[in-house]
């Protein structure tokens, strides 16, 4: 470990499970003071214990990030405990999959509430505070902070059971690139990571839907899904976390507004 984030305060939303937990682990290993946010206190407690067993200390806050007010309270709580936030990784929000004929306007709204707005709310609060600190920069090249949005390839490659989720992903991609250009002059870098099929709990829903839709077993759906990927396997959360770590680190000091795919060379995914 290089300890390249030593002394930096990092907030990871969705940090109690899956990709978010993998990101929290890597940032803590690299010396960051890490806070995780999740709606479930039970999940937070389990993640804190898991990382503590590995010798890593993280701070947990329960909040529903669909509520803008709770997002601000969560940031207040983290900064009171750890200090001003330098790094934000948005990994909260999971879009459920639906067959197109069952995709009502209400489900479209629920999907955006689940995937798009939690990232926007938290990003808004953190950006306000980073921008306020930018006025204290010693030079125009000094970097104040970095934001990494974990989004998903569904925003570029539509699939029939992931239309609403893909639309939310596409909206978050656009917001990421647009805000990146605006805030870069202040020394705030914003980038995105687009994971493909990754072995978390979310992929299980996709496999279940595919098996039900086609009348095949989960195992067959998994085998066919992996066979369609050039690397012949689904990704691991740790592989996505490494890209997020790079984008948040000083090594990516000239990377702004990037949307980096982490999908094993695949196009459309299940």
Q: What is the CATH number of the domain that holds 193?
A: 3.40.50.720
Is pLDDT of 203 > 80?
Answer: no
105 lies in a domain? yes
What's the length of the chain? Answer: 270
DSSP-assigned letters across all residues of 43-59: HHHHHHHHHHHTT--EE
Of 214 and 251, the structure prediction assigns the larger pLDDT to 251
- Average pLDDT of the chain, as a whole number: 91
Q: How far apart are CA 228 and CA 219, in angstroms?
A: 14
Average pLDDT over residues 72-100: 91
* Rg of the chain on CA atoms, in Å: 18
The answer to whether 252 touches 246, Cβ cutoff 8 Å, is yes
According to the model, what pLDDT value does residue 164 have?
83
At residue 182 the predicted structure's pLDDT band, cuts being 50, 70 and 90, is very high
Establish if 112 belongs to a structural domain.
yes
What is the percentage of the chain residues whose pLDDT exceeds 90?
65
pLDDT at 153 over 80: yes
pLDDT for residue 268 is more than 60: no
Across the range 46-66, mean pLDDT stands at: 97
**Residue numbers of the domain that contains 62:** 9-130+142-198+235-261
Q: What is the mean pLDDT of residues 178-185?
A: 97
Compute CA distances 269 → 140, 146, 238, whole Å.
41, 29, 19
Decide: 160 and 201 in contact? Cβ < 8 Å: no
pLDDT tier for residue 1 given thresholds of 50, 70 and 90: low
Number of domains in the chain: 1
Please report whether residue 4 resides in a domain. no
How far CA 223 is from CA of 158, 190, 191, 196, 206, in Å, comes to 21, 36, 32, 16, 13
Burial 77-113 (b: 16+ CB within 10 A, else e): bbbeebeebbbbbbbbbbbbbbeeeebeeeebeebbe
């Amino acid at each position: 470990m290089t300890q390249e984030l030593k002394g930096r305060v990092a907030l990871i939303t969705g940090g109690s499970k899956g990709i978010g937990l993998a990101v929290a682990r890597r940032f803590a290993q690299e010396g960051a003071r890490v806070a995780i946010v999740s709606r479930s206190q039970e999940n937070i407690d389990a993640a804190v214990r898991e990382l503590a067993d590995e010798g890593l200390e993280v701070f947990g806050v329960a909040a529903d990030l669909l509520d803008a007010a709770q997002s601000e309270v969560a940031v207040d709580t983290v900064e009171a405990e750890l200090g001003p936030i330098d790094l934000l990784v948005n990994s909260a929000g999971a879009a459920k999959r639906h067959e197109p004929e069952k995709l009502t306007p209400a489900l479209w709204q629920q999907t955006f509430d689940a995937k798009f707005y939690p990232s926007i709310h938290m990003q808004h609060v953190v950006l306000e505070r980073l921008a306020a600190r930018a006025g204290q920069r010693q030079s125009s090249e000094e970097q104040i902070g970095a934001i990494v949005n974990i989004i998903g390839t569904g925003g570029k490659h539509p699939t029939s059971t992931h239309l609403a989720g893909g639309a939310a992903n596409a909206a978050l991609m656009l917001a990421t690139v647009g805000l990146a250009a605006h805030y870069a002059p202040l020394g705030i870098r914003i980038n995105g990571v687009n994971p493909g099929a990754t072995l978390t709990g979310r992929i299980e829903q996709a496999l279940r839907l595919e098996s039900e839709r086609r009348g095949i077993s989960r195992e067959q759906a998994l085998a066919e899904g992996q066979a369609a990927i050039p690397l012949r396997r689904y990704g691991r959360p740790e592989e996505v976390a490494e890209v997020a770590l790079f984008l948040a680190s000083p090594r990516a000091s000239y990377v702004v507004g990037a949307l980096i795919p982490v999908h094993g060379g695949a196009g459309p995914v299940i």
